[in-house]
Structure 1
Amino acid sequence: MTDMVASQGLSHSRKMTIYIALLVGLFMGVLDAQIVATALPTIAADLGKLELFGWVGAAYLLATAAVTPFYGKLGDLFGRKRVFMVAIVLFVVGSLACGLAWSMESLIAARVLQGLGGGGLMTSAFGILADLFEPRERAKYQGMSSAVFTVASLVGPVAGGVISQTVGWEYIFLINLPIGIGVIAVLIWAMPNFDTGRKPSIDYPGGFLLAAAVTATVFWAEEALGGGYGGVMSYLLPAVVLAALTGFVMVERKADEPMVPLHLFANRSISLALIISVVSGVATLGMLNYFALFLQTVTGLPPALAGLLFLPSSIGSLIASIGSGYLVSRSGRYKVFPIASMALGAVVLIGFSMVHASTPLWVIGVLMFFFSTAIGLQMQTLMTAVQAAAPMRDVGAATGTITLARMIGASLGLAANGGLLTAALMRGQETISAATLAAMPGPMTDMTPAAIATLPSAAASEVVEVFTTAFGTVFYFGAALFAVGFVCALLLPNVKLEGRHKEPAGEKPSERTPATVPAGE
């Protein structure tokens, strides 16, 4: 019996109990990808080894990206409850190890363990949602799930700074212990074990080749594209990616249970949704981390006030995610939301490129609101589209694939946007006056908001102008990516989600076809 079929016998209250537990697990997994950012200076001051600073975040990201494909497929084979429980146990144990770390090296190793669980929290949570709810009903609940994803991304940096400065950086990790144990207890009680009815046949070669390709891609994005490496590494890592992907395709063609069934990519809805997810990941999730720096350098806002401007972002994401989910649930149509998301994102980033030191705060707040609205309009609708287009037996693999696409997009975005900003700042440094150069304590890339505040007013204005122009380059790049996503969204098939899966005569439940019908039916 598949998880989907068996879950139909659960009461609504029991489904909602499972759903809330999943949201908490999802929130923890996403939060820990972001919460460490603002705590890193405190961690480095305590543990030393400043040169390993970047690896505390990169280790979690790399581990999460590497295991995401495994969790989706293992959920299809063994049942998603078992897989989710393994993921959250790994995450809790990794969190404990992070809190007890005695050196930067031990913290990085613990972050790898934590990431091995974190990848499963995100992938398995969305897979379980696909089991609990029918496609149109699912859109409504995935709206809240996507809102949790975005809010965790926004809250993470703020929470990391507050916790590390008040009770100690260790507690940004240790706080996961009671929450994670609570989620485990709830799921043990509320969620039954379902037999998938499939003989497990794990595609280890395919999984490891895909993990190698993803890890090399993320590593290249974090280190090479972002400026960490030059020379041979810039060419070697893409070659590793190409070789791993070539081997992966060859293995998947012959595997009995491929890690990512290649036939998924033949479906236009799935392939376009994956492209949009990568592109939007670069332009949205890869952009959010730079807004705080932008607000503090260009507008001169103090950190606390800049943080408050992220509140409209949370509200926009919540409204868009929940609202679009409700509308998809009512109508069964989702295509309009990615189209609107991509168009809105392009307009908002062009608006950000016009922000300067004297721009009213309410204008910035409106832009922040609509930027996260653009995120909320597409995240859950694309997940719904992919899960509805995939055969039920491959829902986990499809869910893992789109989660991975977003993660790769975010990683590429963090690196690409950082590289663009650095290059633009260095070009801008060549145009400033000799007097300003003499007043600066270091190169333009070292000019933090605090450093800018120490400059004479004329020099500070000149430096801020360089930052304004540099961020404009980043925003135009993001707007161009949104334009690409807009074209891909227009090409999505205009299908209507069924209220319930249709079972063709003689077909096994685990082999169902997608719960969609062509437009107009």
Structure 2
Amino acid sequence: MQSLPSTEPSPKPSDLSVHKIPQETDEALNGVPKDWKFWCIIFSLALSVLLTAVEFTAIGAALPTIIRDLKGVQFIWVGSAYALGSTALVPLCGGLTQIIGRRPIMLSAIFLFALGSTICGAASSMNMLIAGRSVQGLGAGAITSSVQIMLSDLVTLRERGTFSGLMALSWAVGGGVGPVIGGSLAQSGNWRWLFYLNLPICAFNATLVLLFMRLKTPYATLKEKLSRMDFIGNILITGSTTSTVIGLTWGGVQFAWSSASVLVPLIIGLIGLGSFVIYEIYLCKPPVVPILFRLNWTGTSGYLQNFVMAVVLASLSYWYAVFFEACKDKSPTGAGVDLFGLSYSISLIAIVAGVAVKKTGKYLIPTYIGWVLMVVGAGLLTTLRADTSIAKSVGFQLVIGGGVGIIYVVSLFPILASIPVTHSAPAMALYVFSRNFGYIWGVTVGGAILQNELKGKLPASFLAQFPQGVEIAFATIPIIPTLEQPFKDQVRNTFGEALKVVWQVVLGIACAGFLSSLGMRQLELHTNIDEDWGRRDMPPTDRRPIILKA
């Protein structure tokens, strides 16, 4: 066996059967044959990503109208419930794909997403909307996790960047049109169709999955499958994530940050997450995330960077639209159009980064370039004011969007290069968990900062129009264009100053992400494929499997 040269010790799996291509040939770099059935599978995965991206980004532009129609105040929970649902059960999803198989989990995920969309579309109250968003989130988390896992089954790590770039393009297209779709439907009074339109797309996507996603599932008895389920670990991760989100969502909005109502769930959640890690490493047999056994700093850094990137991306997706609507008198549709610079800079740069990694086999330099762009872009955002020109506010998006796009793609390489291919599925489940957990922090912390700043700085006469006293950010935006001068400019400037604090926090978070990338090592991007998974319809390979012994 030819070992993988690297600057870190190679992973030492026990009794793993992998498909290894010992020489770097064109066949090795290109992985399995890319026939029309393969591209149908990739299309279905990309469509799934696009669907979740539209839902994640469209709600922000439509939310002021939805809040007004449903006479609600819990605007932060509309985003937090979706993010929570898409995060809490992701580790369980990773385990279920190993036990039940990829296709049944993907079909179940699409069904949950469609069910949640139906509940949201029929919502008669904010509580019903939040419940529907939670169900949607469950489906979205399972979809995202399954997409990453199946990509690991179908393509080698060396070529993974290209396909991750395609998924990033799908996300960016969905993220780009999402605010426009949400804003347009909200303006026309048809915001419920934001959710109902998901149903035919879900049906079409489920059909593609049924027809083409015929993937292997290793045989095991029911007893063996149940023995692999880590019920305690899943309870720990689900409960801890939920508790953390409750604390973040309530902090500074419904209760003071120093109150027991905020501190207790936050402390319980963070302790629970730490307990989950300790339990998985030292006590659980088998663990939900066996990858925790094998993490070195390079792999750990990949998870940290992925988390930080997600915090930044969620902050931009949710709160940049607020700048255009509150400070520039943009309609929801106009705000969505003005965010095109962010969406498409992410996608285009992501594809370029993925191709560069495939060609060179190197991820360190792209990683550092990505973080520099993100830090510089976040610094530029801190200069935004209510009177900043549209040209600048759009141009700044290109800088930070480029950084986000690079890290969106390259953060998985230090993780997967650190482990054997047979651990790709749980590694990707944990990867999606870290990303979705970052989305929660971006939505909730950004919302809490904005809310606190507005409550402290908006004119008292303006605040008097909102006797509920909490969660006023979205409720105030539709009123701003109707205000008389100079009162109107005073409110707009207050929003600009409040968002400045959000961008300052984003800058600090981006700097932390850059620091977390330091100390990584360049590992070889292997060309291994796990033969236990992948397509059932592919002919047997003439490449001999290699058994790696500890």
TM-score, normalising length: structure 1: 0.86
Equivalent residue number for residue 494 of structure 1: 522
SS at match of 1:202: coil
Q: Is the 8 A contact 1:3 1:79 kept in 2?
A: no
Give me the whole-angstrom Cα distance separating, in 1, the residues matched to 2:292 and 2:51. Answer: 33
What does residue 92 of structure 1 align with?
114
- Which 10-residue stretch deviates more, 444-453 or 129-138? 444-453
1:295–1:90: structure 2 CA closer, same or farther, 3 Å change rule? closer
1:512–1:461 distance in 2 versus 1, CA, 3 Å: farther
Residue 327 in structure 1 maps to residue 356 in structure 2: yes
AA of the residue aligned to 1:27: L
- Specify every segment of 5 or more residues in structure 2 that has no aligned partner in the other structure, as ranges: 1-15, 21-29, 532-543
The answer as to 2:252 corresponding to 1:229 is no
Given candidates 88, 94, 101, the residue that maps to 1:66 is 88
Matched, 1:409 2:438: yes
The structural deviation recorded for 1:215 is 1.5
Shift of 1:129: 0.7
Match of 1:316 in 2: 345
**C-alpha distance in structure 1 between counterparts of 2:436 and 2:189, whole Å:** 31
Taking the aligned partners of 2:490 and 2:130, their CA distance within structure 1 comes to 39
Deviation by residue 1:62-102 (Cα, 9 ceiling, x = unmatched): 22211111112222333322322221222223333433445
Where structure 1 has 5 or more consecutive residues not aligned to the other structure, the ranges are 430-435, 514-521
2-structure distance, mates of 1:52, 1:362: 33
Tell me, yes or no, if the aligned pair for 2:57 and 2:317 is still in contact at 8 Å. Answer: no
Q: Is the 8 A contact 2:247 2:264 kept in 1?
A: no
5 Å-filtered alignment, 1:284-323, equals 284-323=313-352
Alignment check: 8 A CA contact 2:103 2:213 kept = yes
Q: Determine the C-alpha separation between the residues in 2 that align with 1:78 and 1:370.
A: 43
1:209 aligned to which of 231, 236, 252: 236
Partner of 2:283: 254
Relative distance call for 1:426 and 1:114 in structure 2 (3 A) is closer
**Equivalent residue, structure 2, for 1:432:** none
Q: Does structure 2 retain, via aligned residues, the 8 Å contact 1:158–1:307?
A: yes
Secondary structure, in 3 states, of the residue corresponding to 1:457? coil
Q: CA deviation at 1:221?
A: 1.9
Q: Give 1:133's aligned amino acid.
A: V
Q: Relative to structure 2, which stretch is displaced further, 124-133 or 329-338?
A: 329-338
Deviation digits for residues 190-249 of structure 1, max 9, x if unmatched?
Answer: 12231235642111111111111111122222222x523332111210232144235424
The answer on whether the counterparts of 1:216 and 1:241 sit within 8 Å (CA) in structure 2 is yes
What amino acid does structure 2 have at the position aligned with 1:492?
M
Aligned mates of 1:51, 1:420 — CA distance in 2: 16
Contact 1:93 1:114 in 2 (8 A): yes
Relative to structure 1, is the Cα distance of residues 313 and 67 closer, same or farther in structure 2, using a 3 angstrom cutoff?
same
- C-alpha spacing 1:354/1:494, structure 2 compared with 1 (3 Å): same
For 1:167-178, list aligned pairs within 5 A: 168-178=190-200
Q: Does the residue aligned with 2:417 lie in a helix, a strand or coil?
A: helix
1:220 counterpart letter in structure 2: G
**Which structure's relative contact order is higher, taking Cα pairs within 8 Å and 6+ residues apart?**
2
Shift in CA distance, 213/160, structure 1 to aligned 2, threshold 3 Å: same
1:402 and 1:298 mapped to 2: Cα distance? 36
Q: Which is helix-richer, 1 or 2? A: 1
Structure 1 position 165, deviation (Å) = 4.2
* 2:507 counterpart residue number: 479
The counterpart of 1:376, out of the listed 402, 405, 419, is: 405
Answer yes or no: is the 8 Å Cα contact 2:79–2:443 preserved in 1: no
Deviation at 1:279, TM superposition (A): 2.0
- In the other structure, the counterpart of 2:535 is none
Cα distance, 1:103–1:187 mapped onto 2, change above 3 Å:
same
Task: Summarize the Cα distance change of 1:440–1:411 in structure 2 as closer, same or farther, 3 Å threshold.
Answer: closer
| CA distance in 1: counterparts of 2:479 and 2:62, whole angstroms | 20
The alpha-carbon deviation at position 56 of structure 1 amounts to 3.9
Contact (CA 8 Å) 1:67, 1:119: kept in 2 or not? yes
Distance in 2 of aligned mates of 1:239 and 1:157? 35
User: C-alpha offsets along residues 269-304 of structure 1, whole Å, 9 cap, x if unaligned?
Assistant: 221111122222222322321112223333454544
1:113 aligned residue? 135
Amino acid across the alignment from 1:227: V
Matched length? 502
Q: Is the 8 A contact 2:49 2:144 kept in 1?
A: yes
Taking the aligned partners of 2:530 and 2:192, their CA distance within structure 1 comes to 50
Change (3 A) 1:249 1:487: closer
SS of corresponding position for 1:149 = helix
Instruction: For residue 500 of structure 1, report the CA deviation from its aligned partner.
Output: 4.3
Q: How far apart are residue 342 of structure 1 and its match?
A: 1.6
Moved more, 172-181 or 416-425: 416-425
- Distance in 1, matches of 2:460 and 2:68, equals 29
Whole-Å separation in 1 of the counterparts to 2:120 and 2:493 = 41
Deviation at 1:357?
4.2
| Aligned CA-pair RMSD | 3.3
Cα 1:188/1:258, change in 2 over 3 Å = same
- Higher mean C-alpha displacement, 251-260 vs 20-29: 251-260
Q: Which amino acid aligns with 1:376?
A: G
SS at match of 1:493: coil
Residues 359 and 196 of structure 1: is their aligned pair in 2 closer, same or farther, counting only changes over 3 Å? Answer: same
Instruction: Please say which of residues 122-131 and 328-337 is displaced more in the overlay.
Output: 328-337
Give the drift of 1:369: 1.8
How many Å separate the matches in 1 of 2:372 and 2:332? 30
2-structure distance, mates of 1:243, 1:361 = 44
1:359 match: secondary structure: coil
Structure 2 residue 272 is matched with structure 1 residue 272: no
Secondary structure in 2 matching 1:38: helix
Paired residue for 2:451, among 415, 422, 436?
Answer: 422
Return the alpha-carbon distance in structure 2 between the equivalents of residues 185 and 455 of structure 1. Answer: 50
Contact persistence 1:309–1:368 (CA under 8 A): no
Partner in structure 1 of residue 57 of structure 2: 34
Structure 2 counterpart of 1:194, from 178, 203, 216: 216
Letter in 1 for 2:266: P
1:363 aligned residue: 392
Is 62-71 or 320-329 further displaced after alignment?
62-71
2:61–2:333 CA contact under 8 A, matched in 1? no
CA–CA distance in 2 between the matches of 1:390 and 1:500?
11
TM-aligned CA distance change 1:114 to 1:420, over 3 Å: closer
Q: Which residue does the alignment assign to 2:366?
A: 337
